[in-house]
Structure 1
Amino acid sequence: MSQDQSSADRLTLYHSPNTRSSGALLFLEEIGAPYDVLVLNMKAGEQRGAAYLAVNPMGKVPALRHGDALVTEQAAIALYLADLFPAAGLAPAIGDPLRGPYLRWMVYYGNCFEPAVVDRARNLDAPPLAMSPYGRYETVMETVNAQLRQGPYLLGERFSAADLLWGMALSWTTQFGLVPQTPEIKAYVARHAARPAVARVAARDAALAAEHAAAAG
Protein backbone atom coordinates (compact mmCIF):
# COMPACT_ATOMS: atom_id res chain seq x y z
CA MET A 1 0.00 0.00 0.00
CA SER A 2 1.18 3.51 -0.72
CA GLN A 3 2.29 5.62 2.20
CA ASP A 4 -0.21 8.24 0.90
CA GLN A 5 -3.36 6.75 2.38
CA SER A 6 -6.78 8.20 1.73
CA SER A 7 -8.66 9.48 4.77
CA ALA A 8 -10.99 6.48 4.55
CA ASP A 9 -8.02 4.11 4.81
CA ARG A 10 -6.08 6.02 7.43
CA LEU A 11 -4.87 4.01 10.41
CA THR A 12 -6.29 5.00 13.79
CA LEU A 13 -4.96 3.53 17.03
CA TYR A 14 -6.90 3.58 20.29
CA HIS A 15 -4.14 3.97 22.83
CA SER A 16 -3.42 4.47 26.50
CA PRO A 17 0.13 5.15 27.68
CA ASN A 18 2.23 2.41 29.26
CA THR A 19 -0.16 -0.39 28.36
CA ARG A 20 -0.21 -3.16 25.77
CA SER A 21 -1.17 -0.55 23.20
CA SER A 22 2.35 0.87 23.54
CA GLY A 23 3.42 -2.17 21.57
CA ALA A 24 0.93 -1.35 18.80
CA LEU A 25 2.21 2.23 18.77
CA LEU A 26 5.71 0.83 18.34
CA PHE A 27 4.62 -1.24 15.32
CA LEU A 28 3.19 1.89 13.70
CA GLU A 29 6.37 3.85 14.39
CA GLU A 30 8.54 1.10 12.93
CA ILE A 31 6.43 0.86 9.79
CA GLY A 32 6.53 4.60 9.23
CA ALA A 33 3.00 4.88 7.83
CA PRO A 34 0.85 7.92 8.71
CA TYR A 35 -1.58 7.24 11.54
CA ASP A 36 -3.81 8.93 14.09
CA VAL A 37 -3.99 8.20 17.80
CA LEU A 38 -7.12 8.40 19.94
CA VAL A 39 -5.92 8.50 23.54
CA LEU A 40 -7.92 6.93 26.36
CA ASN A 41 -7.31 7.96 29.95
CA MET A 42 -7.61 4.60 31.67
CA LYS A 43 -7.05 6.14 35.09
CA ALA A 44 -10.26 8.08 34.49
CA GLY A 45 -12.04 4.94 33.28
CA GLU A 46 -12.56 6.11 29.70
CA GLN A 47 -12.02 2.56 28.44
CA ARG A 48 -15.25 1.60 30.24
CA GLY A 49 -17.34 4.31 28.61
CA ALA A 50 -20.03 3.42 26.10
CA ALA A 51 -18.13 5.01 23.22
CA TYR A 52 -15.10 2.77 23.62
CA LEU A 53 -17.04 -0.36 24.59
CA ALA A 54 -18.69 -0.04 21.19
CA VAL A 55 -15.18 -0.40 19.74
CA ASN A 56 -13.97 -3.16 22.05
CA PRO A 57 -16.51 -4.67 24.47
CA MET A 58 -13.57 -5.99 26.51
CA GLY A 59 -12.65 -2.41 27.42
CA LYS A 60 -9.02 -3.12 26.50
CA VAL A 61 -6.46 -1.40 24.36
CA PRO A 62 -5.08 -1.55 21.75
CA ALA A 63 -7.63 -1.39 18.98
CA LEU A 64 -6.83 -0.39 15.42
CA ARG A 65 -9.20 0.95 12.78
CA HIS A 66 -8.26 0.82 9.12
CA GLY A 67 -11.14 1.74 6.86
CA ASP A 68 -13.92 -0.71 7.69
CA ALA A 69 -11.55 -3.10 9.44
CA LEU A 70 -11.30 -3.17 13.23
CA VAL A 71 -8.46 -5.17 14.75
CA THR A 72 -7.96 -5.80 18.46
CA GLU A 73 -5.31 -7.78 20.35
CA GLN A 74 -1.69 -6.74 20.19
CA ALA A 75 -0.41 -9.76 18.24
CA ALA A 76 -3.25 -9.54 15.71
CA ILE A 77 -2.46 -5.86 15.11
CA ALA A 78 1.20 -6.72 14.59
CA LEU A 79 0.35 -9.45 12.09
CA TYR A 80 -2.09 -7.17 10.29
CA LEU A 81 0.29 -4.23 9.98
CA ALA A 82 3.31 -6.34 9.01
CA ASP A 83 1.36 -7.89 6.13
CA LEU A 84 -0.31 -4.60 5.17
CA PHE A 85 3.07 -2.90 4.75
CA PRO A 86 5.40 -5.57 3.31
CA ALA A 87 7.97 -2.94 2.34
CA ALA A 88 8.75 -2.52 6.04
CA GLY A 89 10.21 -6.04 5.99
CA LEU A 90 8.67 -7.07 9.32
CA ALA A 91 7.09 -10.34 8.18
CA PRO A 92 8.38 -13.26 6.10
CA ALA A 93 6.11 -13.71 3.09
CA ILE A 94 3.91 -16.74 2.60
CA GLY A 95 6.17 -19.40 1.11
CA ASP A 96 9.24 -18.15 2.96
CA PRO A 97 10.63 -20.95 5.17
CA LEU A 98 10.65 -18.49 8.08
CA ARG A 99 6.92 -17.78 7.79
CA GLY A 100 5.96 -20.74 9.95
CA PRO A 101 8.45 -19.99 12.77
CA TYR A 102 7.38 -16.34 12.62
CA LEU A 103 3.72 -17.26 13.13
CA ARG A 104 4.71 -19.69 15.85
CA TRP A 105 6.36 -16.96 17.93
CA MET A 106 3.57 -14.48 17.34
CA VAL A 107 1.01 -16.97 18.67
CA TYR A 108 3.23 -18.45 21.37
CA TYR A 109 3.32 -15.04 23.03
CA GLY A 110 -0.43 -14.91 23.73
CA ASN A 111 -1.12 -18.63 24.04
CA CYS A 112 1.75 -19.62 26.32
CA PHE A 113 3.90 -16.75 27.57
CA GLU A 114 1.22 -14.39 28.85
CA PRO A 115 -0.86 -17.04 30.65
CA ALA A 116 2.27 -18.47 32.28
CA VAL A 117 3.48 -15.05 33.43
CA VAL A 118 0.07 -14.03 34.76
CA ASP A 119 -0.24 -17.23 36.76
CA ARG A 120 3.27 -16.72 38.14
CA ALA A 121 2.48 -13.08 39.03
CA ARG A 122 -0.62 -14.20 40.93
CA ASN A 123 1.24 -17.02 42.67
CA LEU A 124 -1.06 -19.57 41.10
CA ASP A 125 -0.01 -23.11 40.36
CA ALA A 126 -0.10 -24.11 36.72
CA PRO A 127 -3.28 -25.97 35.74
CA PRO A 128 -3.06 -29.74 35.31
CA LEU A 129 -1.00 -30.52 32.21
CA ALA A 130 -4.03 -31.85 30.35
CA MET A 131 -5.74 -28.45 30.79
CA SER A 132 -2.83 -26.01 30.78
CA PRO A 133 -2.40 -23.82 27.70
CA TYR A 134 1.30 -23.50 28.44
CA GLY A 135 2.41 -26.59 30.34
CA ARG A 136 4.78 -25.23 32.98
CA TYR A 137 6.18 -21.72 33.49
CA GLU A 138 9.73 -23.10 33.57
CA THR A 139 9.20 -24.85 30.22
CA VAL A 140 7.91 -21.64 28.64
CA MET A 141 10.93 -19.66 29.84
CA GLU A 142 13.44 -22.28 28.76
CA THR A 143 11.82 -22.45 25.31
CA VAL A 144 12.23 -18.69 24.89
CA ASN A 145 15.82 -18.70 26.16
CA ALA A 146 16.76 -21.63 23.96
CA GLN A 147 15.47 -19.79 20.90
CA LEU A 148 17.38 -16.62 21.77
CA ARG A 149 20.62 -18.60 22.08
CA GLN A 150 20.38 -19.35 18.35
CA GLY A 151 20.73 -15.75 17.20
CA PRO A 152 20.10 -12.14 18.03
CA TYR A 153 16.43 -12.41 17.06
CA LEU A 154 13.65 -14.97 17.29
CA LEU A 155 14.18 -15.86 13.62
CA GLY A 156 17.93 -16.02 13.99
CA GLU A 157 19.58 -13.20 12.06
CA ARG A 158 16.29 -11.83 10.73
CA PHE A 159 14.45 -9.11 12.64
CA SER A 160 10.66 -9.26 12.46
CA ALA A 161 7.44 -8.00 14.02
CA ALA A 162 7.77 -10.89 16.46
CA ASP A 163 10.80 -9.14 17.96
CA LEU A 164 8.84 -5.92 18.44
CA LEU A 165 6.15 -7.89 20.29
CA TRP A 166 8.57 -9.92 22.41
CA GLY A 167 11.04 -7.10 22.97
CA MET A 168 8.33 -4.95 24.53
CA ALA A 169 6.97 -7.86 26.57
CA LEU A 170 10.32 -8.98 27.93
CA SER A 171 11.28 -5.39 28.75
CA TRP A 172 8.22 -5.01 30.97
CA THR A 173 8.24 -8.47 32.53
CA THR A 174 11.93 -8.37 33.45
CA GLN A 175 11.50 -4.86 34.83
CA PHE A 176 8.82 -6.12 37.23
CA GLY A 177 10.68 -9.31 38.10
CA LEU A 178 8.18 -11.62 36.44
CA VAL A 179 10.81 -13.07 34.08
CA PRO A 180 14.42 -13.82 35.06
CA GLN A 181 17.07 -11.66 33.36
CA THR A 182 19.06 -14.47 31.83
CA PRO A 183 22.04 -13.43 29.67
CA GLU A 184 20.02 -14.18 26.54
CA ILE A 185 17.00 -12.14 27.60
CA LYS A 186 19.09 -9.27 28.98
CA ALA A 187 20.95 -8.92 25.66
CA TYR A 188 17.71 -9.20 23.69
CA VAL A 189 16.03 -6.47 25.76
CA ALA A 190 19.07 -4.23 25.28
CA ARG A 191 18.88 -4.65 21.49
CA HIS A 192 15.19 -3.79 21.63
CA ALA A 193 15.78 -0.69 23.77
CA ALA A 194 18.38 0.60 21.30
CA ARG A 195 15.85 0.95 18.47
CA PRO A 196 15.01 4.62 17.78
CA ALA A 197 11.28 3.88 17.56
CA VAL A 198 11.34 2.52 21.12
CA ALA A 199 12.69 5.82 22.42
CA ARG A 200 10.04 7.77 20.50
CA VAL A 201 7.23 5.67 21.94
CA ALA A 202 8.64 5.94 25.47
CA ALA A 203 8.83 9.73 25.20
CA ARG A 204 5.30 9.99 23.85
CA ASP A 205 3.93 7.72 26.57
CA ALA A 206 5.74 9.70 29.27
CA ALA A 207 4.14 12.92 28.03
CA LEU A 208 0.68 11.36 27.86
CA ALA A 209 1.03 9.81 31.31
CA ALA A 210 2.04 13.20 32.71
CA GLU A 211 -1.06 14.79 31.15
CA HIS A 212 -3.28 12.12 32.70
CA ALA A 213 -1.65 12.55 36.09
CA ALA A 214 -2.15 16.32 35.90
CA ALA A 215 -5.81 15.83 34.96
CA ALA A 216 -6.29 13.51 37.95
CA GLY A 217 -4.61 15.98 40.32
Structure 2
Amino acid sequence: MTESLTFYTNPMSRGRIARWMLEEVGCSYETVLLEYATSMKDPAYLAINPMGKVPAIRHGDTVVTEGAAICAYLADAFPDAGLAPAPGNKMRAPYYRWMFFAAGPVEAAVTGKALGLLAPPEKSAMAGYGSYEATIDALEQAVSGPGPYICCDQFTAADVYVGAQIGWGMQFGTIEKRPAFEAYFARLRDRPAAKRAAELDDALVAQVQNRPQPAQS
Protein backbone atom coordinates (compact mmCIF):
# COMPACT_ATOMS: atom_id res chain seq x y z
CA MET A 1 0.00 0.00 0.00
CA THR A 2 1.39 3.41 -0.97
CA GLU A 3 -0.92 5.76 0.97
CA SER A 4 0.76 8.15 3.37
CA LEU A 5 0.79 7.06 7.01
CA THR A 6 0.66 9.45 9.95
CA PHE A 7 1.31 8.29 13.50
CA TYR A 8 -0.15 10.31 16.40
CA THR A 9 1.57 9.63 19.70
CA ASN A 10 3.19 10.71 22.92
CA PRO A 11 6.35 8.83 23.97
CA MET A 12 5.00 8.38 27.50
CA SER A 13 1.95 6.43 26.42
CA ARG A 14 0.71 3.23 24.82
CA GLY A 15 1.87 4.83 21.61
CA ARG A 16 5.15 3.03 22.22
CA ILE A 17 3.38 -0.21 21.26
CA ALA A 18 2.27 1.22 17.92
CA ARG A 19 5.74 2.65 17.31
CA TRP A 20 7.26 -0.81 17.80
CA MET A 21 4.75 -2.26 15.36
CA LEU A 22 5.48 0.43 12.77
CA GLU A 23 9.19 -0.31 13.03
CA GLU A 24 8.52 -4.05 12.62
CA VAL A 25 6.45 -3.32 9.50
CA GLY A 26 9.25 -1.18 8.10
CA CYS A 27 6.99 1.33 6.35
CA SER A 28 7.68 5.04 6.12
CA TYR A 29 5.52 7.23 8.34
CA GLU A 30 5.24 10.72 9.77
CA THR A 31 5.15 11.17 13.54
CA VAL A 32 2.88 13.81 15.09
CA LEU A 33 3.79 14.44 18.71
CA LEU A 34 0.82 15.33 20.91
CA GLU A 35 0.66 16.51 24.50
CA TYR A 36 -1.95 15.40 27.00
CA ALA A 37 -3.44 18.66 28.22
CA THR A 38 -3.32 20.61 24.95
CA SER A 39 -3.00 19.14 21.47
CA MET A 40 -4.65 15.81 22.37
CA LYS A 41 -7.79 17.76 23.22
CA ASP A 42 -7.63 20.05 20.21
CA PRO A 43 -10.66 19.81 17.88
CA ALA A 44 -8.40 18.82 14.98
CA TYR A 45 -7.23 15.73 16.85
CA LEU A 46 -10.63 14.98 18.39
CA ALA A 47 -11.87 14.61 14.81
CA ILE A 48 -9.39 11.71 14.53
CA ASN A 49 -9.96 10.20 17.98
CA PRO A 50 -12.96 11.55 19.90
CA MET A 51 -11.46 10.06 23.07
CA GLY A 52 -8.58 12.52 22.84
CA LYS A 53 -6.08 9.72 23.47
CA VAL A 54 -3.12 8.18 21.68
CA PRO A 55 -2.04 6.23 19.74
CA ALA A 56 -3.82 6.68 16.45
CA ILE A 57 -2.80 6.30 12.84
CA ARG A 58 -4.14 7.73 9.61
CA HIS A 59 -3.33 5.56 6.59
CA GLY A 60 -4.58 7.32 3.51
CA ASP A 61 -8.21 8.06 4.42
CA THR A 62 -8.37 5.30 7.03
CA VAL A 63 -8.13 6.11 10.74
CA VAL A 64 -7.36 3.44 13.32
CA THR A 65 -7.18 3.93 17.09
CA GLU A 66 -6.49 1.50 19.98
CA GLY A 67 -3.15 -0.25 20.25
CA ALA A 68 -4.26 -3.79 19.46
CA ALA A 69 -6.37 -2.62 16.52
CA ILE A 70 -3.42 -0.67 15.12
CA CYS A 71 -1.17 -3.73 15.41
CA ALA A 72 -3.72 -5.99 13.70
CA TYR A 73 -4.44 -3.42 10.99
CA LEU A 74 -0.77 -2.83 10.14
CA ALA A 75 -0.08 -6.56 9.97
CA ASP A 76 -2.84 -6.93 7.36
CA ALA A 77 -2.05 -3.69 5.51
CA PHE A 78 1.59 -4.72 5.03
CA PRO A 79 1.45 -8.49 4.51
CA ASP A 80 4.99 -8.67 3.14
CA ALA A 81 6.26 -8.02 6.68
CA GLY A 82 4.93 -11.45 7.68
CA LEU A 83 3.48 -10.25 10.98
CA ALA A 84 0.21 -12.20 10.86
CA PRO A 85 -0.61 -15.80 9.98
CA ALA A 86 -2.42 -15.97 6.66
CA PRO A 87 -6.22 -16.45 6.71
CA GLY A 88 -6.87 -20.17 6.84
CA ASN A 89 -3.64 -20.86 8.72
CA LYS A 90 -4.42 -22.63 12.00
CA MET A 91 -2.18 -20.14 13.83
CA ARG A 92 -4.66 -17.37 12.99
CA ALA A 93 -6.78 -18.49 15.96
CA PRO A 94 -4.14 -18.10 18.70
CA TYR A 95 -2.99 -14.91 16.99
CA TYR A 96 -6.40 -13.30 17.47
CA ARG A 97 -7.11 -15.02 20.76
CA TRP A 98 -4.09 -13.85 22.70
CA MET A 99 -3.73 -10.40 21.15
CA PHE A 100 -7.25 -9.49 22.16
CA PHE A 101 -6.97 -11.30 25.47
CA ALA A 102 -4.08 -8.94 26.22
CA ALA A 103 -6.10 -5.94 25.02
CA GLY A 104 -9.17 -6.92 27.06
CA PRO A 105 -8.77 -8.96 30.26
CA VAL A 106 -5.05 -8.30 30.76
CA GLU A 107 -5.34 -4.54 30.21
CA ALA A 108 -8.32 -4.33 32.55
CA ALA A 109 -6.76 -6.52 35.23
CA VAL A 110 -3.36 -4.81 35.34
CA THR A 111 -4.95 -1.35 35.28
CA GLY A 112 -7.32 -2.35 38.06
CA LYS A 113 -4.39 -3.66 40.11
CA ALA A 114 -2.41 -0.44 39.58
CA LEU A 115 -5.39 1.66 40.69
CA GLY A 116 -6.43 -0.60 43.55
CA LEU A 117 -9.76 -1.19 41.85
CA LEU A 118 -9.88 -4.93 41.17
CA ALA A 119 -13.27 -6.59 41.42
CA PRO A 120 -13.84 -8.19 44.84
CA PRO A 121 -14.07 -11.99 44.75
CA GLU A 122 -17.82 -12.05 45.26
CA LYS A 123 -18.28 -9.87 42.15
CA SER A 124 -15.56 -11.35 39.96
CA ALA A 125 -18.15 -12.90 37.63
CA MET A 126 -19.15 -9.37 36.57
CA ALA A 127 -15.62 -8.50 35.43
CA GLY A 128 -14.47 -9.56 31.98
CA TYR A 129 -11.16 -10.65 33.44
CA GLY A 130 -12.74 -12.65 36.26
CA SER A 131 -9.89 -12.38 38.74
CA TYR A 132 -6.43 -10.90 38.41
CA GLU A 133 -4.83 -14.22 39.34
CA ALA A 134 -6.75 -16.20 36.70
CA THR A 135 -5.88 -13.61 34.07
CA ILE A 136 -2.15 -13.73 34.78
CA ASP A 137 -2.20 -17.53 34.88
CA ALA A 138 -3.84 -17.58 31.44
CA LEU A 139 -1.30 -15.07 30.13
CA GLU A 140 1.48 -17.34 31.33
CA GLN A 141 -0.13 -20.18 29.38
CA ALA A 142 -0.14 -18.03 26.24
CA VAL A 143 3.63 -17.51 26.31
CA SER A 144 4.51 -21.04 27.39
CA GLY A 145 3.58 -22.80 24.18
CA PRO A 146 5.63 -25.19 22.08
CA GLY A 147 7.42 -22.40 20.19
CA PRO A 148 9.19 -19.17 21.16
CA TYR A 149 6.26 -16.96 20.09
CA ILE A 150 2.48 -16.83 20.38
CA CYS A 151 2.21 -18.47 16.95
CA CYS A 152 4.95 -21.05 17.55
CA ASP A 153 7.91 -20.17 15.31
CA GLN A 154 6.37 -17.07 13.69
CA PHE A 155 6.87 -13.70 15.34
CA THR A 156 3.66 -11.70 14.81
CA ALA A 157 1.82 -8.55 15.79
CA ALA A 158 0.39 -10.56 18.70
CA ASP A 159 3.89 -10.74 20.15
CA VAL A 160 4.29 -6.99 19.81
CA TYR A 161 1.12 -6.36 21.79
CA VAL A 162 1.41 -9.18 24.32
CA GLY A 163 5.13 -8.55 24.75
CA ALA A 164 4.62 -4.85 25.38
CA GLN A 165 1.99 -5.58 28.02
CA ILE A 166 4.27 -8.06 29.78
CA GLY A 167 7.33 -5.81 29.56
CA TRP A 168 5.51 -2.82 31.01
CA GLY A 169 3.73 -4.92 33.61
CA MET A 170 6.98 -6.37 34.94
CA GLN A 171 8.65 -2.95 34.84
CA PHE A 172 5.91 -1.26 36.87
CA GLY A 173 5.03 -4.17 39.12
CA THR A 174 1.54 -4.91 37.81
CA ILE A 175 2.68 -8.27 36.40
CA GLU A 176 4.91 -10.44 38.54
CA LYS A 177 8.26 -11.54 37.14
CA ARG A 178 7.49 -15.17 36.49
CA PRO A 179 10.23 -17.14 34.67
CA ALA A 180 7.94 -17.69 31.67
CA PHE A 181 7.33 -13.94 31.32
CA GLU A 182 10.98 -13.04 31.69
CA ALA A 183 12.07 -15.64 29.15
CA TYR A 184 9.39 -14.57 26.66
CA PHE A 185 10.15 -10.87 26.93
CA ALA A 186 13.89 -11.53 26.65
CA ARG A 187 13.22 -13.04 23.22
CA LEU A 188 11.51 -9.82 22.09
CA ARG A 189 13.30 -6.85 23.60
CA ASP A 190 16.48 -7.18 21.55
CA ARG A 191 14.74 -7.31 18.18
CA PRO A 192 16.17 -4.55 15.95
CA ALA A 193 12.73 -2.98 15.47
CA ALA A 194 12.07 -2.97 19.22
CA LYS A 195 15.41 -1.25 19.82
CA ARG A 196 14.79 1.35 17.09
CA ALA A 197 11.33 2.12 18.44
CA ALA A 198 12.65 2.56 21.98
CA GLU A 199 15.43 4.86 20.80
CA LEU A 200 13.00 7.02 18.82
CA ASP A 201 10.57 7.33 21.70
CA ASP A 202 13.26 7.91 24.30
CA ALA A 203 14.55 10.80 22.19
CA LEU A 204 11.01 12.22 22.07
CA VAL A 205 10.73 11.95 25.86
CA ALA A 206 13.72 14.24 26.17
CA GLN A 207 12.16 16.61 23.62
CA VAL A 208 8.87 16.75 25.53
CA GLN A 209 10.59 17.30 28.87
CA ASN A 210 12.69 20.15 27.47
CA ARG A 211 9.78 22.03 25.94
CA PRO A 212 8.84 25.34 27.60
CA GLN A 213 5.74 24.97 29.71
CA PRO A 214 2.74 27.22 28.94
CA ALA A 215 2.28 30.15 31.27
CA GLN A 216 -0.24 29.60 34.06
CA SER A 217 -3.21 31.95 34.04
In the superposition, the TM-score normalised over structure 2's length comes to 0.92
Decide whether the 8 Å contact of 2:55 with 2:66 is kept in 1: yes
Among 116, 126, 130, the residue aligned to 2:109: 116
What's the counterpart of residue 194 of structure 1?
Answer: 190
Equivalences for 1:133-172 in 2 at 5 Å? 133-150=128-145, 151-172=147-168
The residue identity in structure 2 corresponding to 1:181 is: K
Deviation string, structure 1 residues 85-114 (Cα, Å, up to 9, x no partner)? 111111011111111111111211121100
What's the counterpart of residue 16 of structure 2?
Answer: 22
User: Does 1:97 pair with 2:90?
Assistant: yes
SS at 1:14 equivalent: strand
SS at 1:30 equivalent: helix
Deviation string, structure 1 residues 126-161 (Cα, Å, up to 9, x no partner)? 262331111111111111112222232112222111
**C-alpha distance in 2, partners of 1:85/1:206?**
26
Decide whether the 8 Å contact of 1:168 with 1:192 is kept in 2: no
Higher mean C-alpha deviation, range 173-182 or range 202-211 = 202-211
Deviation string, structure 1 residues 15-74 (Cα, Å, up to 9, x no partner)? 1113111111111111111111111133x5321222211211111101110111110001
User: Does 1:204 pair with 2:200?
Assistant: yes
Among 27, 38, 59, the residue aligned to 2:32: 38
The residue identity in structure 2 corresponding to 1:126 is: A
User: Does 1:129 pair with 2:135?
Assistant: no
Decide whether the 8 Å contact of 2:14 with 2:67 is kept in 1: yes
**C-alpha distance in 1, partners of 2:21/2:167?**
16
Count of residues in correspondence between the two structures:
210
Deviation at 1:216, TM superposition (A): 3.7
Among 99, 109, 116, the residue aligned to 1:106: 99
**C-alpha distance in 1, partners of 2:143/2:94?**
13
User: Does 1:177 pair with 2:173?
Assistant: yes
In the superposition, the TM-score normalised over structure 1's length comes to 0.92
State the identity %: 45
SS at 2:126 equivalent: coil
**C-alpha distance in 2, partners of 1:178/1:216?**
33
Decide whether the 8 Å contact of 1:145 with 1:185 is kept in 2: yes
What's the counterpart of residue 52 of structure 1?
Answer: 45
Instruction: Identify unmatched segments of 5+ residues in structure 2.
Output: none
**C-alpha distance in 2, partners of 1:157/1:140?**
24
Flag as ranges the 4+ runs of structure 1 deviating above 4 A: none
What's the counterpart of residue 4 of structure 2?
Answer: 10
**C-alpha distance in 1, partners of 2:182/2:191?**
15
User: Does 1:215 pair with 2:208?
Assistant: no
Q: Superposition RMSD on alpha carbons, in Å?
A: 1.4
